Structure 1
Amino acid sequence: MSPPVAARKIVLCLLVASVTQIAAGRVIHTEHSLYQNILMTESGNRLCMKFSLRENQRNQSCIDRSDPRKMVFGYTRMMMSGLLLNPQPNRILVVGMGGGTLPMALAALLPDSHIDIVEIDSAVVRLAQEYFGFVSGPRLRVVVQDARVYGKRAALRGERYDLILLDAFTADYIPEHLMTAEYLAETRSLLTDEGVIVANTFGISDLYDYESNTYESIFGPFLNLKSWNSSNRIIVAAKATLPSEVELEARATQLKSALRPYGVPIHRYPQRMSRKRDWDASARILTDQYSPANLLRGARS
């Protein structure tokens, strides 16, 4: 290779590395836990947690240190749509912690609530405390445990929740045992009569049809809230009958000012929450014996 060509190649590599570094942010901490690789990155005021060493890995949880209350990601904001069905939940269960931004927001919004967070990876909990300022307490309890195990034991204790948030998936991996009809039935049994479940999941993959059928088999009709600029979708299901769009809009009006500091456009969600059955009804229901979720997720993505 001639010197000019070699020089140009080196410059090009440096430019690519520079762009990648700017896009991803500066890595300030890396850790290999029992379950995953975890990176903490910093870019300006934004601090992020990632669950992979891949350069193109999406951020799992971020905080804007110039405005810590404001939710950075659209899917996190969309998960607050569960409040449209139950605006004043007293007992809340959050499955999957990330940086803890979602439970911290709920704790601030609902000062009389009690929130249980289930996270399988103790390293995630520690990093959320160290970098995101998460502080547990009597009202904000963290349990380091597999969510399936926690749910079974909570049911035996007779625990019930007004709001359950499922946010345990990453861009790399889906815990398949948390997608089955059996798990959803176990989770439904933890809901109060007016209880609501909100699940962050994927909107673009062959998994969509299977997952939708599985949720419908346990909860009946549910609300579908899709993101305009990502592959995320939020499933909102209830133990009782779903409220009408008029009821949802009335509650959105009541919640609008309280959610404004968090950047949640709650008033826009009622019209975007679809009740349409837009999936293949013949798709097989996911069960403990049949749950190839990770294979299905990659089919169209």
Structure 2
Amino acid sequence: MAERNRKSRGPRLSILLSITLAACAAVLTTYALLDATPPRLVHTEPSEFAPVLVIEENGQRCLNFSQIIDNGRQTCLDLDDPDRMVFEYTRMMTSALFLNPAPKKVLIIGLGGATIPTAFHKILPDAAIDSVEIDPAVVRVAERYFGYKQGPRQRLFVEDGRAFVERAHRAGQQYDMVMLDAFDVDYIPAHLLTVEFLQHVRALLAPDGVLVANTFTLSDMYDKESATYAAVFGDFFNLRDGNRVIIASRGPLPDDETLARNAAALATTLAPFGIDVDRELQRFSRQSDWNTQAEVLTD
């Protein structure tokens, strides 16, 4: 009888426990909503392309184009911990250092709030970092609100990214790493997606140079983008978490052992930026998850 009573109380206790946990969750959610602050517009920078907005909410300062609230931010800075990378895609792009942990010359197309140029200036104390940004308004905002500083190792070119790449190619320049992170209000500008553009980019890479490109996981262009990168670079690493980051090399891709060894050597250096090297390594997929017969994008 006693045993039967315990069994009969089990479901009731489970129900009561479920109700209690649900109530606690509701209270915590309510407090979280009360604690969340609505976006506050700090500054609007006029631009010939789209107004550049600086917004603060929940301890973060963010850059966006045109709208305070939409599906995403271009850049966000943790006001209490400025070095920590807020977005996954910036951590994924930085993990390209697992292929080449000590690049001496880095080219970044697209400045935004300068998360990566600023971080690389600290991570790579011997590297020269060239950034290209088409919109002077973005530059002004990055300098005033996001701590971007130009200098001998941190050079900035205000012009179209493709024009810079083609000129650098003609001049015979080479970079150990080229990072593509240029977006407008809608998506990556079309002239920065074609096979002709990527051929110029590949020509800029040193023999062991690395290409890093920030794109979208959910995009109507996914198959065509993938086919275009494959047409120029062959196999590449395909990192996905919200955004998709393509990491390719002018030479053969390194094996997993090399990636792991380089990641381990960088672990202490990258930790202050919120980068867990073991977690990032898990994203390095070699799988072709697109239609390999998709059309290649051309000019």
Give TM-score scaled by structure 1 length. Answer: 0.85
Aligned: 1:219 with 2:219:
no
Pairwise CA distance, 1:107? 0.6
Query: What is aligned with 2:40?
Result: 26
Aligned-partner residue type, residue 150 of structure 1:
F
In the alignment of these two chains, the number of paired residues is 265
Mark the CA change 1:215 to 1:66 in structure 2 (over 3 Å): closer, same or farther.
Answer: same
Aligned: 1:56 with 2:70:
yes
3-state SS of 1:164 partner: strand
Unaligned runs of 5+ in 2: 1-32
CA distance in 1, matches of 2:41, 2:297: 38
Pairwise CA distance, 1:250? 1.2
- CA RMSD of superposed structures (Å): 1.4
CA distance in 2, matches of 1:267, 1:239: 25
CA distance in 1, matches of 2:99, 2:187: 29
Give TM-score scaled by structure 2 length. Answer: 0.85
Query: What is aligned with 1:3?
Result: none
Aligned-partner residue type, residue 209 of structure 1:
D
CA distance in 2, matches of 1:128, 1:118: 13
Aligned: 1:259 with 2:274:
no
Q: Is the 8 A contact 1:96 1:117 kept in 2?
A: yes
Question: 279, 282, 294: which one pairs with 1:271?
Answer: 282
Q: Is the 8 A contact 1:107 1:140 kept in 2?
A: yes
Question: 70, 90, 108: which one pairs with 2:104?
Answer: 90
Pairwise CA distance, 1:37? 2.0
Q: Which string of whole-angstrom CA distances, capped at 9 and with x for unpartnered residues, describes residues 176-204 of structure 1?
A: 00000000000000000010000000111
1:139-288 equivalence runs, <5 A: 139-170=153-184, 172-227=186-241, 230=242, 232-288=243-299
Pairwise CA distance, 1:99? 0.7
Q: Which string of whole-angstrom CA distances, capped at 9 and with x for unpartnered residues, describes residues 229-257 of structure 1?
A: x2x11000000100111211111111111
CA distance in 1, matches of 2:230, 2:293: 12
4+ residue runs over 3 A deviation: none
Aligned-partner residue type, residue 277 of structure 1:
S
Q: Which string of whole-angstrom CA distances, capped at 9 and with x for unpartnered residues, describes residues 106-143 of structure 1?
A: 01111110000000000100111100111100100000
Unaligned runs of 5+ in 1: 1-18, 289-301
Q: Which string of whole-angstrom CA distances, capped at 9 and with x for unpartnered residues, describes residues 145-185 of structure 1?
A: 00010011111222100011100025623200000000000
3-state SS of 1:89 partner: coil
Q: Is the 8 A contact 1:245 1:271 kept in 2?
A: no
CA distance in 1, matches of 2:238, 2:141: 32
CA distance in 2, matches of 1:141, 1:128: 14
3-state SS of 1:273 partner: coil
Pairwise CA distance, 1:269? 2.3
Pairwise CA distance, 1:265? 1.6
Query: What is aligned with 1:100?
Result: 114
CA distance in 2, matches of 1:171, 1:122: 16
3-state SS of 1:251 partner: helix
CA distance in 2, matches of 1:170, 1:256: 33
Query: What is aligned with 1:115?
Result: 129
Pairwise CA distance, 1:205? 2.2
Mark the CA change 1:278 to 1:173 in structure 2 (over 3 Å): closer, same or farther.
Answer: closer
Aligned-partner residue type, residue 137 of structure 2:
A
Query: What is aligned with 1:291?
Result: none
3-state SS of 1:149 partner: helix
